[in-house]
Homo-oligomer: A and B are copies of this chain.
Amino acid sequence: MYDLTIIGYGPGGYEASLLALRKNLKIAIVEESKLGGNCLNRACIPTKYYWTGAKFLEKLEIFNNYGILIEKKGIDFYKAFEKKNEAIKYLRKSLRQLLKSKKVNLFKGRGKIIDKNKVLVIDKDGNEEIIETKNILIATGSKPISIGNLKLDNNYIVSTDYLLEKMDSLPSSILIVGGGVAGCELGYILKSYGVDVYIVELKDRLLPSKDTSKDISKYLIRKFKKLGIKTYLNTTVEDYEIRDSKVLVKLSNGENLEVDKILLSVGRAPNTSDIDEIGIIKDERRFIKVDEYMRTNYENIYACGDVVNSPMLAYTSSLEGKVAVKNIIGENVKIDYGYIPYAIFSAYEISYIGLNEETAKEKNIEIVSGLYSYSFNEKAVDEGETDGFIKLFFNKENKKFVGGYILGASASELIHLLEVALKEGYTAEDLHHLTYFHPSISEIIPFASYDIAEGKLF
């Protein structure tokens, strides 16, 4: 009898296992595909790998400024694909080694809960095995969805999963349907590698989430324009056909496009079909219903990550997985997402946290803001990274920091300092008066809070 059986070994299952092992639980892992889940194999990690390449390609343009003479000989995408796979394999191996060294039983197959204490594992050959377990954590993740008449075929119409895991050569042109995070990330990467990129987005802006400041979308679309990424807002794909190895697309605005591929990045659905025979309760969108303890309608069965209705992020999944484990060992801990830092790797490295102009208004919080450009930051000038901005929002009344965003180098790291500022209720003065190393990109923070902390300069 295991203490805990984890079904699905992505970031949720992995972090849950790390904590469970520290707490000396006897655990079993069930995974039907590769260790590491979507995040490691076909989302976050390959995206940032290719994004690093895209940034390198951008950097090439300024190497000359540092006296480095080079000649560009072209792109070998297959090489990038292979080395991406190597990096991921290396990381997957470290997961495998962890399980081995802790003598954790890994069941390769599809897990199905057939009793509140029994998980049936069916491997790819149809062999069955039953795991007996005190507790279960469902962490089976999600998969990309199709929309309308666009059907994924792993050739002309592809998903982000396919593109990031399997695609070993570049199309010469691509239409990306969906200008959300994945669409904006992959659009930038593909363009950098020389692909003609078109993006269609149903809504009136890129990154159409209310937590994302409209300013971010504005800066990003301006940059896309400069890079030659063609963006269609308020637009959908009306029809398409495949002819002579090309996809002919008719857009809702009347324009016609001819591309090699269509990438669908319109969202993901939870992997909750056929995971149980015991009536675990799901909502109308098939997300598993959990309480604040990450418990399902069964006291000993928990769920985390993309299968529950919370932000579809690797790190919230990890948090949920750890909360589940804490409750399994009786610590009685409620989920608290705290302040979630967001980051997007597109033509800008983008990050944000807390409120923005729109969400502050919704909450009737009057704000004052501080803006600072990377072009005045000495470290950014040294690095040739002058194209960037930070905007910080403070409560007008008490000058407390309520949120902000960063577009530019190191944005995804710097955001954590802003997270702590939010958590600790820092005012503009508090943020301004920390000691910042000079020169550092971090100095954009004291400069963006200077006017509010010490009075205006202009």
Known: A69-B75, A341-B436. A91 touches B45 (CB 8 A): no
Please tell me which one of the listed residues B76, B423, B436, B456 contacts residue A22 in the complex, with CB atoms under 8 A apart: B456
Cα of A65 to Cα of B360 in the assembled complex, Å: 44
Q: Which of the segments A78-86, A218-226, A282-290, A388-396 contacts the partner chain?
A: A78-86
Known: A313-B438, A318-B438, A437-B315. A78 touches B69 (CB 8 A): no
Binary B-proximity of A72-110 (CB < 8 A = 1, otherwise 0): 111111111101000100110010000001100000000
Binary B-proximity of A416-451 (CB < 8 A = 1, otherwise 0): 110111011000000000111111111000000011
Contact check, A44 vs B439: say whether CB atoms are below 8 A apart. Answer: yes
Distance of A383 from chain B, by nearest CB (Å)? 5
Contact check, B65 vs A76: say whether CB atoms are below 8 A apart. Answer: no
Contact check, A66 vs B80: say whether CB atoms are below 8 A apart. Answer: yes
Q: Which of the segments A123-131, A234-242, A248-256, A374-382 contacts the partner chain?
A: A374-382
Residues of B within 8 Å of A416, CB to CB, are 417, 434, 436-437, 440, 442
Residues of B within 8 Å of A19, CB to CB, are 454
Q: Which of the segments A55-63, A146-154, A204-212, A257-265 contacts the partner chain?
A: A55-63
Residues of B within 8 Å of A412, CB to CB, are 437, 440
Contact check, B455 vs A39: say whether CB atoms are below 8 A apart. Answer: no
Contact check, A435 vs B315: say whether CB atoms are below 8 A apart. Answer: yes
Contact check, B454 vs A91: say whether CB atoms are below 8 A apart. Answer: no
Please tell me which one of the listed residues B193, B378, B424 contacts residue A424 in the complex, with CB atoms under 8 A apart: B424
Known: A53-B67, A416-B417. A22 touches B439 (CB 8 A): no
Residues of B within 8 Å of A52, CB to CB, are 66, 382-384
Residues of B within 8 Å of A436, CB to CB, are 315, 341, 416
Binary B-proximity of A188-230 (CB < 8 A = 1, otherwise 0): 0000010000000000000000000000000000000000000
Contact check, A45 vs B413: say whether CB atoms are below 8 A apart. Answer: no
Known: A91-B381, A315-B436, A435-B339. A68 touches B48 (CB 8 A): no
Q: In chain A, residues 355-412, which have Cβ atoms closer than 8 Å to a Cβ of chain B?
A: 376, 378-379, 381-384, 410, 412
Contact check, B382 vs A457: say whether CB atoms are below 8 A apart. Answer: no
Contact check, B64 vs A68: say whether CB atoms are below 8 A apart. Answer: no
Q: Assess whether A114 is interfacial by the CB under 8 Å rule.
A: no
Q: Assess whether A319 is interfacial by the CB under 8 Å rule.
A: yes
Cα of A264 to Cα of B345 in the assembled complex, Å: 43
Q: Assess whether A23 is interfacial by the CB under 8 Å rule.
A: yes
Q: Assess whether A167 is interfacial by the CB under 8 Å rule.
A: no
Q: Assess whether A71 is interfacial by the CB under 8 Å rule.
A: yes
Please tell me which one of the listed residues B383, B410, B419 contacts residue A435 in the complex, with CB atoms under 8 A apart: B419
Distance of A369 from chain B, by nearest CB (Å)? 17
Q: Assess whether A111 is interfacial by the CB under 8 Å rule.
A: no
Contact check, B72 vs A69: say whether CB atoms are below 8 A apart. Answer: yes
Cα of A79 to Cα of B415 in the assembled complex, Å: 35
Known: A21-B457, A410-B413. A81 touches B67 (CB 8 A): yes
Given contact pairs A18-B457, A70-B73, a sample of 5 additional A-B residue pairs in the complex whose CB atoms are under 8 Å apart:
A19-B454, A22-B457, A52-B383, A315-B437, A420-B424
Residues in chain A within 8 A of chain B (CB atoms): 11, 18-19, 21-23, 39-40, 44-45, 48-53, 56-57, 59-60, 63-81, 83, 87, 90-91, 94, 101-102, 193, 313-316, 318-319, 337-343, 351, 376, 378-379, 381-384, 410, 412-417, 419-421, 423-424, 434-442, 450-451, 454-458
What are 13 A-B contacts with C-beta separation under 8 Å? A45-B439, A48-B378, A53-B66, A64-B79, A68-B75, A69-B72, A315-B435, A315-B438, A340-B435, A343-B437, A410-B410, A410-B413, A416-B442
| A-B residue pairs, 5 tightest by C-beta | A67-B80, A53-B66, A69-B73, A315-B438, A65-B83
